[in-house]
C-alpha cells in the first residue's frame, strides 16, 4: 500500500515540479474522503509540515510523500480552515494554504460579461478578504485569461519567482485563478505561462495590472484602488453633458518633457505630484480649460511617447504611483481644469512580457499578419472581432473614468482601425466579407466603446484622431455614426499650415487653403489641433515653419494663432507652441523655457494667455462652433491681398465679434469691412500690439459704423490693418 501511494504521489509531484498541472484544486488542498478528509500540500524544498487551525492549534503532522515536496495528512473531519507550519532548511514559515479557497478564487468570473467594467473588477490582482473561524483572512485573488495555455503559475517576490510553488487553476472558459492569503498591496508578481505544447513562454506581466515597475523587470505590482480619497465631488457635479457649446482650449502635454529637474535624478522627470503643482498652476495661469496628456497607459519604450502601450489599465510608474496620478487629476479638477488622456486601442507592441502571443497563440492579435501587423509601427493589431479583446479594450477605456476620474479620451490612430488597407499596398491586406476595405469589427467596437462611455459617464467625452473622410465619426451611433463626441480636424491643420508656410507674396495663389475648412465645418464636431505630430521628425517647430525674417516669423505665428482661436472648432495647442519654441520638440529634454527671457517668445506666451481669456469670456467664439448661426463669412474672396474676415455670433446672447486676418506684411489702410448693424465697434485684441512684440501700428480702437454698404451688408467700418496680424473687433452693445 505504501509503495502504491509513493508511486502515484511521485507522478503527481513530478507534474507539479515541472508545472504541468492545470487543475491543482483537484489534487491540492482539503478534500473529503470516505473516512473523513485528506489535506494535500505542495511545498517544494520543505522538510516538514504541521497542519494547524487558524488559532495555531495542531491538527496533525503531514506525511512527506515525495522528496520534491508533496505532503499529505488524513483527518477524521474537514476543518473549517487551516494553515501550514512549514519547516525549511534555513527557516520556518506559517502559510494559510491557498488551495482551500476554491470558491473565492472563482468569484466574479460568472458575471464577467454582464458589464465591461467587471473585467477590471475581477481579473488582475484583486485584494480580497474572507471571515473564517472569527478571523479575517486577507490576501490577493489573481485571475488571468489564457485559454490555450497548458499551465499557468503565479510567480513573485513572495515565492522567489519560482514557478513550481503556485500553480493556478484553469476555469472552464480559460481563466486561470488563485487566491493567495497574506499578500497585500505592493507585492510584485508575474505569470509563468506554458503554451499549448508545454513550452514555457517569457514571463508575462498582468494584462489587467494596475501598477508595474519599469525596465528591466516590467514587474506587475498589486495595487489597492480603494485607499485614495478624492476631493473633486463639486467638480464632477458641475460638469455639463453637452461639451459642444462650451469653451474648450486644450493644452497637449508630454509629461516626460514638459519640464525636467535641473539637477538630474535619473531622467529628471517631474513626478505626478510635482506636475500637480507646477503644470497645473501653469495651465491655470495661461487660461487653458483642458489638459490633454499623451498616453499614460504603461508602456515599455520612452521613445514611443506612450503610443506603444502594454498596461492598458495602469498609469505609467515613470512619474509615480496610481494614487499619485489620481492626485494629479484631482488637483486639475480643483483648479477647474478638465483632463483628457490619449487612449491607444489600435495596436500594441511585440515586447515579450506583454500581450503578444500571450498564451502561445494570437490571443489578442489577428493571426494573419495581413490583418494583425502594423508595418509602420512594428506592432500588433488587436483582433477586434474577438469577444475577449472587445471586453478588454472597452473595460480599459472605462477604468480611466471610473478609477482615475478622467474627463475625456482622445483615441489615437482611428483611421488605421477603420480600414483594412490602411498604409498597405495591393496584396498586403484582406478585404471584408463584402469585398471592401472597411474593418466592420473595428467599427462595431468603436461604436460600442462610445456608447458605453457616454452611457456611464455622460459628462465625459471622446475625441477621434481620424485623418480620412470617413462619414459620421462624431455623429451618434443611433444616427449611423461612430459615436465620438469630437473629431480632430486634420484637414484644417494641414491646409492652414501649408498656407502659413508660403511666402506672403505667394499666399494669394493658395488662398483657398485658409478658407476651405468652412466648406465641411458642419460635417463633424471638430477640434482644431496644432499637435505634437507637427513639431517632430524633422518638421521643425511652428515658429520655424513661418516664413520671413525673425520679426515676420513671430508675427506670422501670432496672426495664425489668433486666427485659429477665432475659427469654429475647439482648440488644441501642443506644449511649446505657446512660447514660440524655436527648436523641434525632443521627448528626451525639457521645453526651452529659457527663451522666455526674450520678448519675441514672451510676446507669444502673453498672446496665448490673452487669447484664452478672451475666448472663455466671449460666448460668440465657442457657443456656435457647430451651429450655422455661429459663423458668417464677411469676405473670403480677398485673395489678392491675402485677407480673410468673418463674424462669430453668440447663440444664446447677442454678442458679435468680427475677425480680420491680414496675412501679408503690408499695412492695409482704411480697409473697409461690412457689418450688419449700426453702432460702435471696438478692437478687443490685436496681435500686432507691442505687448506681444508687434509693430504696434496704429489701427485705432473704436469705430462708428457708417451707412456705406459693403460685403453685402448695409453698414461698414474702415480699419487700418496692421501687417501680419489678426484683429478681434467686438460690437459694443
> How many Å apart are CA 733 and CA 727, to the nearest integer?
19
**63-78 burial code (b ≥16 CB/10 A, e <16):** ebbbebbbbbbebeee
Q: Which residues contact 718 (CB under 8 A, 6 or more apart)?
A: 670, 671, 672, 673, 703, 706
CA-to-CA distance for 716 and 677, rounded, in angstroms?
A: 8
**How far is Cα 265 from Cα 676, in angstroms, rounded to an integer?**
61
- From the list 465, 466, 524, 635, the catalytic residue is 465
Q: Which of 412, 513, 534, 730 is catalytic?
A: 412
Buried b (16+ CB within 10 A) or exposed e, 271-302: bbbbbbeebbebbeebbbbbbbbbbbbbbbeb
> 3-class secondary structure for 544-577?
HHCCCCHHHHHHHHHHHHHHHHHCCCEEEEECCH
Contact status, residue 282 vs residue 251, Cβ threshold 8 Å: no
Contacts 24+ apart (CB under 8 A), 66-69: 66/6, 66/9, 66/10, 66/12, 66/13, 68/13, 68/14, 68/16, 68/17, 68/44, 69/13, 69/16, 69/17, 69/42, 69/43, 69/44, 69/45
Element (H, E) at 672: strand 668-675
Cβ atoms < 10 Å from Cβ of 677:
12
Using CA atoms, how far residue 640 sits from 40, 497, 500, in Å, is 90, 19, 16
CA distance linking residue 16 with residue 44, whole number of Å: 9
Closest CA to 139 of 204, 183, 102: 183
Q: Is 403 in the active site?
A: no
Residue in 417, 403, 387 with CA at minimum distance from that of residue 457: 403
Instruction: Look at the chain and count its residues.
Output: 733
Alpha carbon separation from 255 to 275, 330, 349, 441, 731 (Å, rounded) = 8, 16, 21, 33, 41
With CA atoms as reference, report the closest residue to 45 among 15, 10, 88, 6.
88
Distance of CA 331 to the CA centre of its chain: 18
Secondary structure letter of residue 478 according to DSSP: G
3 state SS of 200: strand
CA distances from 271 to 149, 157, 325 (A): 38, 26, 9
What sign results for the dihedral spanned by CA atoms 682, 684, 686, 689? positive
Which residue from 332, 290, 298 is spatially nearest to 485, judged by alpha carbons? Answer: 290
Distance CA 556, CA 229 (A): 47
CA distance 180 to 24: 14
Among residues 703, 389, 666, the alpha carbon closest in space to that of 508 is found at: 666
465 in active site: yes
Active site amino acids? 412, 465
Amino acid at each position: 500500500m505504501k509503495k502504491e501511494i509513493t508511486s502515484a504521489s511521485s507522478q503527481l509531484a513530478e507534474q507539479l515540479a515541472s508545472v504541468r498541472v492545470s487543475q491543482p484544486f483537484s489534487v491540492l488542498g482539503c478534500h473529503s474522503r470516505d473516512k473523513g478528509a485528506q489535506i494535500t500540500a505542495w511545498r517544494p524544498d520543505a522538510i516538514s509540515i504541521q497542519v494547524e487551525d487558524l488559532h495555531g492549534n495542531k491538527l496533525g503532522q503531514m506525511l512527506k510523500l515525495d522528496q520534491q515536496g508533496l505532503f499529505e495528512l488524513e483527518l477524521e473531519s474537514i476543518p473549517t480552515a487551516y494553515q501550514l507550519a512549514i519547516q525549511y532548511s534555513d527557516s520556518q514559515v506559517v502559510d494559510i494554504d491557498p488551495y482551500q479557497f476554491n470558491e473565492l478564487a472563482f468569484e466574479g468570473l460568472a458575471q464577467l460579461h454582464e458589464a465591461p467594467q467587471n473585467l477590471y473588477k475581477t481579473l488582475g490582482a484583486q485584494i480580497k478578504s474572507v471571515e473564517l473561524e472569527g478571523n479575517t483572512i486577507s490576501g490577493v485573488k489573481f485571475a488571468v485569461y489564457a485559454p490555450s495555455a497548458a499551465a499557468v503559475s503565479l510567480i513573485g517576490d513572495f515565492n522567489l519567482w519560482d514557478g513550481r510553488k503556485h500553480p493556478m487553476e484553469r476555469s472552464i472558459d480559460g481563466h486561470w485563478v488563485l487566491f493567495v492569503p497574506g499578500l497585500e498591496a505592493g507585492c510584485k508578481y508575474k505569470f509563468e505561462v506554458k503554451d499549448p505544447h508545454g513550452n514555457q513562454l517569457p514571463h508575462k506581466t498582468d494584462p489587467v495590472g494596475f501598477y508595474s515597475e519599469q525596465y528591466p523587470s516590467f514587474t506587475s505590482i498589486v495595487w489597492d484602488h480603494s485607499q485614495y480619497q478624492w476631493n473633486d465631488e463639486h467638480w464632477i457635479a458641475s460638469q455639463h453633458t453637452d461639451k459642444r457649446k462650451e469653451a474648450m482650449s486644450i493644452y497637449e502635454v508630454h509629461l516626460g518633457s514638459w519640464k525636467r529637474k535641473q539637477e538630474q535624478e535619473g531622467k529628471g522627470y517631474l513626478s505626478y505630484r510635482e506636475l500637480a503643482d507646477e503644470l497645473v498652476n501653469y495651465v491655470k495661469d495661461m487660461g487653458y480649460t483642458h489638459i490633454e496628456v499623451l498616453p499614460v497607459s504603461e508602456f515599455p519604450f520612452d521613445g514611443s511617447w506612450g503610443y506603444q502601450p502594454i498596461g492598458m489599465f495602469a498609469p505609467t510608474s515613470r512619474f509615480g504611483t496610481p494614487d499619485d496620478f489620481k492626485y494629479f487629476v484631482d488637483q486639475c479638477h480643483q483648479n477647474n481644469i478638465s483632463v483628457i488622456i490619449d487612449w491607444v486601442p489600435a495596436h500594441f507592441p511585440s515586447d515579450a512580457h506583454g500581450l503578444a502571443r500571450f498564451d502561445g497563440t494570437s490571443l489578442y492579435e489577428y493571426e494573419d499578419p495581413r490583418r494583425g501587423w502594423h508595418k509602420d509601427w512594428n506592432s500588433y493589431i488587436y483582433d477586434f472581432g474577438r469577444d475577449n479583446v472587445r471586453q478588454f479594450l472597452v473595460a480599459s477605456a472605462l477604468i480611466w473614468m471610473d478609477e482615475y476620474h478622467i474627463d475625456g479620451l482622445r483615441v489615437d490612430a482611428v483611421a488605421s482601425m477603420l480600414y483594412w488597407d490602411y498604409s498597405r499596398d495591393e496584396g498586403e491586406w484582406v478585404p471584408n466579407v463584402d469585398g471592401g476595405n472597411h474593418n466592420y469589427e473595428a467599427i462595431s467596437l468603436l461604436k460600442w466603446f462610445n456608447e458605453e462611455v457616454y452611457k456611464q459617464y455622460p459628462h465625459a467625452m471622446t475625441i477621434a484622431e481620424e485623418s480620412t473622410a470617413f462619414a459620421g465619426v462624431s455623429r451618434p451611433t443611433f444616427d449611423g455614426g461612430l459615436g465620438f463626441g469630437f473629431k480632430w480636424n486634420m484637414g484644417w491643420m494641414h491646409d492652414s499650415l501649408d498656407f502659413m508656410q508660403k511666402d506672403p507674396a505667394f499666399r494669394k495663389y493658395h488662398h483657398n487653403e485658409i478658407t476651405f475648412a468652412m466648406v465641411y465645418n458642419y460635417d463633424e464636431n471638430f477640434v482644431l489641433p496644432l499637435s505634437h505630430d507637427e513639431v517632430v521628425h524633422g518638421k521643425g517647430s511652428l515658429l520655424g515653419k513661418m516664413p520671413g525674417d525673425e520679426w515676420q516669423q513671430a508675427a506670422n505665428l501670432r496672426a495664425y494663432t489668433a486666427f485659429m482661436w477665432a475659427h469654429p472648432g475647439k482648440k488644441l495647442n501642443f506644449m511649446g507652441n505657446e512660447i514660440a519654441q524655436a527648436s523641434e520638440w525632443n521627448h528626451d529634454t525639457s521645453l526651452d523655457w529659457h527663451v522666455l527671457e526674450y520678448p519675441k517668445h514672451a510676446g507669444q506666451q502673453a498672446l496665448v494667455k490673452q487669447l484664452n481669456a478672451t475666448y472663455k469670456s466671449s460666448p460668440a467664439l465657442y457657443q456656435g462652433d457647430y451651429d450655422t448661426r455661429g459663423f458668417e463669412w464677411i469676405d473670403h474672396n480677398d485673395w489678392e491681398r491675402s485677407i480673410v474676415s468673418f463674424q462669430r455670433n453668440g447663440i444664446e446672447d447677442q454678442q458679435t465679434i468680427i475677425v480680420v486676418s491680414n496675412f501679408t506684411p503690408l499695412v492695409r489702410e482704411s480697409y473697409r469691412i461690412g457689418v450688419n448693424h449700426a453702432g460702435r465697434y471696438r478692437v478687443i485684441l490685436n496681435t500686432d500690439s507691442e505687448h506681444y512684440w508687434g509693430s504696434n501700428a496704429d489701427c485705432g480702437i473704436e469705430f462708428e459704423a457708417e451707412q456705406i454698404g459693403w460685403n453685402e451688408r448695409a453698414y461698414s467700418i474702415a480699419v487700418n490693418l496692421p501687417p501680419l496680424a489678426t484683429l478681434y473687433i467686438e460690437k459694443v452693445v
